[in-house]
Amino acid sequence: MSEWQGRTAVISGGGRGFGKAFAVALCERGAHAVLVDLDGAAGEQAALELREKGWSAEALQGDVTDAARMDEVMQQAAGQNGGIDLLINNAGLHSDEYSQPMRVLGVEKVRRLFDVNVMGTVICTLAAVPFMAGRVGANVISISSMAAYPSGTAYGASKMTVAALTIAFASELGGEGIRVNAIAPGMILTETIKAELPQNIKDFVKRSQSLDADGAESDIVAAMLYLSGSGARFVTGETLRVTGGMGAGV
């Protein structure tokens, strides 16, 4: 029997992309997935697709920057089996739009970027903790980025902050048995990246990797399954870079 059988995973930004892929991997291993998404229709559609496969999933609409709503979401999510076993802080602003210099973005866009990527991580984690404390194997995974190494843009700085928050939360929550880690994806050729990233940037990133290979969504899912599972029971406060070697360093 899978270690995820009957356990509850809450995934922000669960309606598409990495979030949906995480939900599929966890559901097929017996977990109940709660897909939290600002786009309620996308979340509902993803949850429906999971249920049509005979899996257990539900969708809850909400903005991760809304602390009151996230408190409600976590309370509702925990009702499935009395608690939350895994929180994946996946919701975030990214893409070419938010990878611009701060002088181009302007104050309001930079503020929104940090509200979602940084405060969203804080808000969701704090809201979930009361329903995770003391549960065997409970853990939090946040999504950082290779753009944090080095953080030459506001987006990169927001994702470096996610890595720093991972260390802070790991220290703060370890006494309650909650592990906290992060994943920093490199260039993962999702449909969005294929469509939005200019070919010269793709070529530059690939030349900067140690491995002559293309990153795939399945690589990030594999990292999530490792960090969230019992095989990583002694791992906390870490950010796992899945970048093909780009940005490697100490």
244 falls within a domain: no
Higher-confidence position of 79 and 95: 79
Say yes or no to pLDDT of 151 above 80: no
Res 250: pLDDT: 61
- Closest C-alpha among 167, 142, 152 to residue 64: 142
Range name among 12-26, 92-106, 114-128, 155-169 with the lowest pLDDT average: 92-106
* Radius of gyration of the CA atoms of the chain, in A: 17
194, part of any domain: yes
Give me 124's structure tokens.
């969701």
- Structure confidence at residue 68 as a pLDDT band (50, 70, 90): very high
Find the distance separating the first CA and the last CA of the chain, reported in whole Å. 38
Helix H or strand E segment including 249: none
In what helix (H) or strand (E) does residue 235 lie, and over which residues does it extend?
A: none
| Mean pLDDT across the chain | 94
| Residue from 181, 191, 221, 215 nearest 24 by CA | 221
Q: What is the mean pLDDT of residues 159-169?
A: 97
pLDDT: which is higher, 3 or 248: 3
Q: Locate 143 and state its tokens.
A: 């999504």
Q: Assess if residue 22 is contained within a domain.
A: yes
**Is residue 3 domain-resident?**
no
Mean pLDDT computed over 200-222: 93
pLDDT greater at residue 234 or residue 250: 234
pLDDT band at 166 (very low <50, low <70, confident <90, very high): very high
Provide the pLDDT for residue 169: 98
What secondary structure does DSSP assign to 214-234, as a single string?
-B-HHHHHHHHHHHHSGGGTT
Q: What is the CATH number of the domain that holds 227?
A: 3.40.50.720
Q: Read off the pLDDT of residues 29-58 as tens digits, 9 standing for 90 and up.
A: 999 999 999 999 999 999 999 999 999 999
Q: Judge whether residue 249 has pLDDT over 70.
A: no
Rounded CA separation 149/166 (Å) = 16
Q: Flag whether 57 is in a domain.
A: yes
The pLDDT score that the predictor gives to residue 8 is 98
Helix crossing, 17-27 with 217-228: angle to 10°? 50
| CB atoms inside a 10 Å sphere around CB 103 | 7
Percentage of residues in the chain having pLDDT higher than 90: 85
200 part of a folded domain = yes
- Domain range for 69 is 8-239
Q: Per-residue DSSP letters for 24-88?
A: HHHHTTTPEEEEEESSHHHHHHHHHHHHHTT-EEEEEE--TT-HHHHHHHHHHHHTTTTS-SEEE
Rounded to an integer, the average pLDDT of 140-150 is: 94
Q: Is the pLDDT of residue 95 over 80?
A: no
pLDDT score of 240 more than 80: yes
Report the candidate in 7, 14, 18, 20 with the shortest Cα–Cα distance to residue 36. 14
- The answer on pLDDT for 4 being more than 70 is yes
Q: How confident is the model at residue 194 (pLDDT cuts 50, 70, 90)?
A: confident
Number of structural domains the chain divides into: 1
Dihedral sign of CA atoms 40, 215, 195, 191 in order: negative
pTM tops 0.85: yes
Contact at 8 Å (CB) between 174 and 132?
no
> Does any domain span residue 55?
yes
- Name the amino acid, one letter, at 110: V
Q: What is the pLDDT of residues 223-235, one digit of tens each?
A: 999 999 999 999 9
**Residue 247 covered by a domain:** no
